Amino acid sequence: MSVQQLKRVFLDDILPTWSNSGFDGSCVQFVEYLQLDGSSQKAGEVRTRTVARQIYVHAHAAHLGVAPSASLDLAERAFANLHHVAWVSGKRGGTTVWT
């Protein structure tokens, strides 16, 4: 697969799929993984690193102007939630965000 093909798959398929299926609105965070059928994780823990990575990817794609329209809003909401649950008294919190 060429770099251009990979870029197209990421921008046209992967990023929109994560925008649509990879965000849990009830927990206000990105899920840990998607099922093979593209549906979101049903339950379980979500690592802080995973949430932070998804926030970065969606926010940076929005900054570059290549993200789905909902990406920046999802990133901002997920960041606010991550800050709420993982930041403890101005110190670094734990490594897991439970759903």
Question: To the nearest whole number, what is the mean pLDDT of the chain?
Answer: 88
Domain count within the chain: 1
Straight-line distance from the first to the last Cα atom of the chain, in angstroms, rounded to the nearest whole number: 36
Query: Given this model, what pLDDT does residue 10 score?
Result: 92
- Give whole-number Cα distances, 38 to 18, 44, 68, 91, in Å: 9, 17, 17, 36
Is the model's pTM score more than 0.85? Answer: no
Query: Given this model, what pLDDT does residue 29 score?
Result: 92
Tell me what percent of the residues of the chain surpass a pLDDT of 70.
Answer: 88
Report the alpha-carbon distance of residue 61 to residue 44 in Å, rounded.
27
Which domain does 76 fall in, by range? 3-98
Helix (H) or strand (E) holding 91: strand 91-92
